[in-house]
Amino acid sequence: MPKPKETVYDHNLTDEEKKLLGIGDNKEDYLKGLTEDGALADLFRLYFHRGDWAKAKEYLKKIKDERYKHDIFLIYALGGCLIYSKEQAEWRRKVSEYFRDAFEVD
């Protein structure tokens, strides 16, 4: 299996971000079995966490497996789409609107 072209390790990953993403300190262990879509999903999650939604969207758009892309977005960005309050509902609306074009099929 070819190694992904780019991973979170190419983006000044901090120890806090490694914990957040569930990534250990060993890059070689991280790369074992990592697919291109998996690396892109981690990059999406990294930049979403950093608050750089434009960069996060770039990586989300590159994920080829549409079901996987949808699941990553639903779970990570929308928190499983569970709405507990009016503020959370508004947050999810803003996130959904911003990232909508990442799901458009050419």
Asked if the model's pLDDT at residue 82 lies above 70, the reply is: no
Alpha carbons 35 and 42: distance in angstroms, whole number: 11
What are the C-alpha distances in Å from 68 to residues 15, 60, 62, 74? 26, 10, 12, 10
The residue whose two tokens read 């434009």 is: 54
pLDDT band at 83; cut points 50, 70, 90: low
Mean pLDDT, the chain, whole residue set: 88
Domain boundaries defined on the chain: 8-103
User: Percentage of the chain with pLDDT > 70?
Assistant: 92
* pLDDT tens digits, 43-76: 999 999 999 999 999 999 999 999 999 999 888 8
The tokens describing 58, both together, are 């770039």
pTM score: 0.86
Alpha carbons 27 and 40: distance in angstroms, whole number: 16
